[in-house]
Amino acid sequence: MRHITTPMASEVHMEEAGDVIVLSSNNYLGLADQHEVVDAGKRGLDRYGAGTASVRFICGTFDVHRTLERRIASFLGTESALTYVSCWNANTGLFPTICDEGSAIVSDELNHASIIDGVRLASKARRERFRHGDMQDLEAKLQALGDAFPIVVATDGVFSMEGDLAKLPEIVALAKRYGAIVVVDDSHGTGVMGKTGRGTVEHFGLTGEVDVITGTLGKSLCGAAGGFIAASRALVDTMIQRSRPQLFSNALPATVACSALAAIEYLDAHPELATRLRENVAYFRTGLTRIGYRPLDGQSAIVPIIVGETAFAIAMSDKLLKRGVFVTGFGYPVVPEGTARIRVQMNAKLTREEMDRALAAFEAVGKDVGLLG
């Protein structure tokens, strides 16, 4: 772990390396230090104190929880929404609550660990994995489920290690054909994908057609912490009544709720942020390709460069850090052996000058380690 001593932003101060450009954060819109977002949190702290000292249903619901949940629902175009202290909690609360005896879950093999653990907790459900993004395999798995009910298809919106998107139009069509409901964890898509940053569902023009969207407040939407389930009122009411992290764990701190609310308002008022993010992704991808890298294709703000062995990825990340660029190398077991990678994550506030400096570091390090000619 590295130790940062300033707010999360395009450039931070790090104890171990001094001032560095950050290409490793989920702060896609750069709202973590946006003053409207920070000030809202401060006002929240003054108004509500440090926290609820309770789970939601006992005495842990402040009015700002309701305001935030209504705002998340209207932002995503669902009937209702419910917050959790993390998306991890939302995902591990969701699947065991809706999938009992006789039900089935079909999950993309590269889904995030929180979906995997959520599905594991639904121990009475029949559980199947389909090959990543393989619609024929998904259909084959759905066909084999017989009269299971309900059937849930679970997928990330944007896959965090690959940066690619779920094939949502096909998934939604298959789900309709086989009477399944679709759960999309759009933690890396919210604020990033779609014209106005409403996520992968907006990107594909499917607003209103995905049954359940889960997501985090710990990435684009202020970067603090917190998660949510956005869905029909009936499903959200069921979560309030029965999902265990909701019943037995404290509420989202009000300060965080206030910051997240301000982040959504800010994004709504500044849709150009999502446009700027896309422009930065395109600029950086083009730059990487020009100097000789071959990043994985994709439309999200995640740009992975596969380099092979774990030690190699980590050594490369260390060398980049020495040149003032903080970008993490990922290896086994986070990704399959032999596919270690440098995962670049862009943000809307990076300037051209910062991106050019980062590209110069990538070029020098690529030559140094023998990846570039």
Closer Cβ to ligand PLP, 122 or 145, answer by number: 122
Strand partners, 308: 340
Which residue from 25, 27, 86, 317 is in contact with ligand PLP, where contact means CB under 6 A?
Answer: 86
Q: Is 163 in the site for ligand PLP (CB under 6 A)?
A: no
Q: Is 349 in the site for ligand PLP (CB under 6 A)?
A: no
Closer Cβ to ligand PLP, 80 or 86, answer by number: 86
Strand partners, 326: 22
Determine whether 68 is exposed, middle or buried from the number of CB atoms within 10 Å of its CB (0-12, 13-18, 19+). Answer: buried
Q: How far is the CB of 233 from ligand PLP (least distance, A)?
A: 23
Q: Is 345 in the site for ligand PLP (CB under 6 A)?
A: no
Per DSSP, 194 falls in state S
Q: Is 41 in the site for ligand PLP (CB under 6 A)?
A: no
Q: How many Cα atoms occupy the beta-carbon half-sphere of 241 within 13 Å?
A: 7
Q: Where are the beta strands (DSSP E) in the chain?
A: 11-14, 18-22, 80-84, 104-108, 126-130, 151-156, 180-185, 212-216, 227-231, 302-308, 325-326, 329-330, 340-345
Q: Is 190 in the site for ligand PLP (CB under 6 A)?
A: no
Could you tell me the sign of the dihedral formed by the alpha carbons of 70, 9, 250, 214, in that order? positive
Task: Kindly name the residue from 141, 219, 270, 349 that is annotated as catalytic.
Answer: 219
Q: Is 188 in the site for ligand PLP (CB under 6 A)?
A: yes
Which residue from 108, 164, 185, 211 is in contact with ligand PLP, where contact means CB under 6 A?
Answer: 185
Q: Which residue type occupies 88?
A: W
With a CB cutoff of 8 Å and minimum separation 6, the contacts of 32 are 7, 8, 9, 25, 222, 223, 224
Q: How far is the CB of 187 from ligand PLP (least distance, A)?
A: 4
Closer Cβ to ligand PLP, 30 or 227, answer by number: 227
Active site residue 219: yes
Active site residue 188: yes
Closer Cβ to ligand PLP, 110 or 267, answer by number: 110
Q: Residues 301, 345: contact at Cβ < 8 Å?
A: yes
Q: How many residues bind ligand PLP (CB under 6 A)?
A: 13
Closer Cβ to ligand PLP, 130 or 362, answer by number: 130
Closer Cβ to ligand PLP, 27 or 114, answer by number: 114
Residue matched to tokens 């869905």: 231
Q: How far is the CB of 209 from ligand PLP (least distance, A)?
A: 20
Q: Segment contacting ligand PLP (CB under 6 A): 74-82, 86-94, 261-269, 338-346? A: 86-94
Active site residue 367: no
In the region spanning residues 103 to 162, those forming contacts with ligand PLP, defined by CB under 6 A, are 112, 114, 156, 160
**Burial track 364-373 (b if 16+ CB lie within 10 A, e otherwise):** ebbeeeebee
Q: Is 27 in the site for ligand PLP (CB under 6 A)?
A: no
Nearest Cα to 281, choosing from 342, 354, 355, 223? 355
Task: Kindly name the residue from 141, 188, 203, 270 that is annotated as catalytic.
Answer: 188
Q: How far is the CB of 99 from ligand PLP (least distance, A)?
A: 18
With a CB cutoff of 8 Å and minimum separation 6, the contacts of 157 are 165, 166, 168, 184, 185, 186, 187, 188, 189, 190, 193, 199, 200, 201, 213
With a CB cutoff of 8 Å and minimum separation 6, the contacts of 160 are 112, 187, 188, 302
Q: How many Cα atoms occupy the beta-carbon half-sphere of 64 within 13 Å?
A: 22
Which residue from 133, 191, 218, 295 is in contact with ligand PLP, where contact means CB under 6 A?
Answer: 218
C-alpha 207, offset from chain centre: 18
Closer Cβ to ligand PLP, 148 or 347, answer by number: 347
Q: How far is the CB of 192 from ligand PLP (least distance, A)?
A: 12
Residues lying near ligand PLP in the complex (CB under 6 A) are found at 86-88, 112, 114, 156, 160, 185, 187-188, 216, 218, 227
Active-site annotation, residues: 160, 188, 219
